[in-house]
Amino acid sequence: MDDIFIYDRGIPVSRIAFGQDFGDIVKALDACAGGPLPVYVVADANVERFADEIIALTGGEDSGASCRSNIRFCGKYTLKATEEDKTMDSVLAMADWLLRQGADRNAFILAVGGGITTDMAGFAASVYKRGVRFAYVPTTLLSQVDAAIGGKTGVNFDSYKNMLGVIRQPEFTYICADVLKTLPHRDFLSGAAELVKSFIIEDGGNYAMAVEFLSGLEDADNRDAYMAGHMDVLLSLIHSAAAVKAGVVTRDQFETGERRKLNLGHTFAHAIEKNARLSGDDITHGEAVAIGMAMAAELAERTGIAAPGFAKSLKKDFSKAGLPSTCPYPVPQLVEAMGRDKKAENGIVHFVLPAAVGDVRICDMELSAAVRSL
Ligand SMILES: NC(=O)c1ccc[n+]([C@@H]2O[C@H](COP(=O)([O-])OP(=O)(O)OC[C@H]3O[C@@H](n4cnc5c(N)ncnc54)[C@H](O)[C@@H]3O)[C@@H](O)[C@H]2O)c1
């Protein structure tokens, strides 16, 4: 599968590479090495075995003079990937470990895990010694199609999601399909919401293909067998979604315009997630995004941006695909959090509203007016 690049003023700044397994990871690391490359692996404790597999391929603990490549493995740090632990304290602990390991300005951080791990490791790499090089091996569907692409890094702060962070591109994102085999179904569906989101933003025929693939998975008696039999379809969807994101980021890396489209469903989703945290409810990021996209479709319809019936048909597709679309909280309960969303400015929220599949628009709207419409 072809590599995808993110460009900054015509210069490639981040590469997205694809592999069935970890076979080509040494090649990807070697491509980053002008000379000896001191690699520090940061891994989600739940997927430590993948990190160990990669470390073994690089020559492991004994890498160095005897290793055929320039990669020098310098240590592994494991973290707990939960939203509660996605904090500045965790980033400081990582920085403390790097310092104690003797990591200098040449350090190269390789993050192995889902979006929580890549967001935190990318942030730590961006601020450690004013920034060292880093790359990602995303192990969830969500991070393969979204979180590990585009350079947004960060942590939660004061009960708000991703309040502190920077935008800095990983040198590469290595997408390996095999890792998804161990991903729990609920986490897979969480990523499926972001996959579907990509195709509501830019369709190219992929939206219908994604809904069909997910409906089949939902109905399958044996999901593992279905996945194994449809791996080529899934890989093609991941590649297309990654290309959508890379294209948008290339055109608007620092989110002054078009990149806001990637927030489709997220203004509602972040408010839903905040309510869930306060009420002790268990809602994944992807579930909140799916509900948020359905709410955005409702708002688009009620404000005349989408044709009548659009929200209903979207919700029908979501239901077939196993994605939720009904908000468990009354809209007024979401308002305070929406006003505090990072994307809100002076009471005006940049709502991203779908006019149709493949046609989303950024609509600046007063929060109170939006709430009245809903
Ligand atoms: N930076 C961005 O642009 C961006 C975009 C979207 C989301 N995000 C962030 O991503 C985070 C969500 O990411 P996520 O859904 O990947 O969550 P995650 O990192 O929490 O992973 C979900 C769960 O799956 C486990 N896991 C990971 N890979 C596995 C595998 N292969 N097999 C078995 N278990 C595995 C993890 O330990 C965790 O329990 C949120 O914090 C969100 O804010 C960032």
- Is the CB of 182 within 6 Å of ligand 1? yes
Residue 141 alpha carbon, nearest atom of ligand 1: 16
Q: Determine whether 48 is an active site residue.
A: no
Q: Are residues 179 and 199 in the same domain?
A: no
Identify the pLDDT of residue 342: 62
56 plus 199 within the same structural domain: no
Establish whether 239 is a catalytic residue.
Answer: no
Among protein residues, the one with the nearest Cα to ligand 1's atom 44 is 147
Q: How far is ligand 1, taken at its centre, from the CA of residue 282, in Å? A: 15
Whether 343 is a known active-site residue: answer no
DSSP 330: -
Same domain, 217 and 360: yes
Q: Is 204 within the bounds of a domain?
A: yes
Residue 255 Cβ inside 6 Å of ligand 1? The answer reads: no
What is the model's pLDDT at position 65? 43
DSSP state of 86: -
Atom 39, ligand 1: residue with shortest CA distance: 81
Q: Assess whether the C-beta atom of 186 lies below 6 angstroms from ligand 1.
A: no
| Residue 127 and residue 60 share a domain | yes
Active-site choice (161, 239, 259, 261): 259
Buried b (16+ CB within 10 A) or exposed e, 210-245: bbebbebbbeeeeeeebbeebeeebbebbbbbbbbb
Same domain, 272 and 351: yes
Index of the ligand 1 atom closest to the CA of residue 162: 43
Domain termination site, one of 183, 209, 233: 183
pLDDT tens string, the chain, 374 residues long: the values are 999 999 999 999 999 999 888 888 988 998 888 888 999 999 999 999 999 999 998 877 655 444 557 899 999 999 999 999 999 999 999 999 999 999 999 999 999 999 999 999 999 999 999 999 999 999 999 999 999 999 999 999 987 888 999 999 999 999 998 899 999 999 999 999 999 999 999 999 999 999 999 999 999 999 999 999 999 999 999 999 999 999 999 999 998 889 999 999 998 998 999 899 889 999 999 999 999 999 999 999 999 999 999 999 999 999 999 999 999 999 888 887 777 666 667 778 889 999 999 999 999 988 888 888 88
Domain boundary among 155, 183, 211: 183
- Concerning whether 83 is annotated as a catalytic residue, the answer is no
Q: Is the CB of 237 under 6 A from ligand 1?
A: no
Task: Give me the pLDDT at residue 253, please.
Answer: 93
In a domain, 188, yes or no: no
Ligand 1 within 6 A of CB of 46 = yes
Instruction: Please report whether residue 199 resides in a domain.
Output: yes
189 assigned to some structural domain: no
Task: Give yes or no: residues 267 and 350 share one domain.
Answer: yes
Q: Residue 33 belongs to a domain with what CATH number?
A: 3.40.50.1970
Look at residues 183, 212, 237 and tell me which one is the last residue of a structural domain: 183
Pocket flag, ligand 1, residue 147 (CB < 6 Å): yes
Instruction: Let me know if residue 190 belongs to a domain.
Output: no
Assigned domain for 284 exists: yes
For residue 256, the model assigns a pLDDT of: 87
For residue 44, being part of any structural domain is answered with yes
User: Is residue 117 in some structural domain?
Assistant: yes
Do residue 237 and residue 294 come from a single domain?
yes
Q: Is the CB of 119 under 6 A from ligand 1?
A: yes
- Contact between 213 and 233 (Cβ < 8 Å): yes
Q: Please give the pLDDT value at position 135.
A: 98
> By alpha-carbon position, which residue is closest to atom 32 of ligand 1?
183
165 and 209 in a single domain? The answer is: no
209 is written with which tokens?
A: 């293909």
Residue 113 Cα to ligand 1 midpoint, Å, equals: 7
Q: Are residues 244 and 128 in the same domain?
A: no
Asked whether the whole model's pTM tops 0.75, one would answer: yes
Specify whether 271 is located in the same domain as 212: yes
Supply the residue whose CA is at minimum distance from atom 8 of ligand 1. 147
Are 118 and 267 part of one and the same domain? no
What CATH code is carried by the domain that includes residue 326? 1.20.1090.10
Together in a domain, 57 and 101:
yes
Number of structural domains the chain divides into: 2
Domain that holds residue 365: 195-373
Predicted confidence at residue 272, as pLDDT, reads: 94
Per-residue model confidence (pLDDT) at position 66: 43
CA 143 to ligand 1: nearest atom: 16
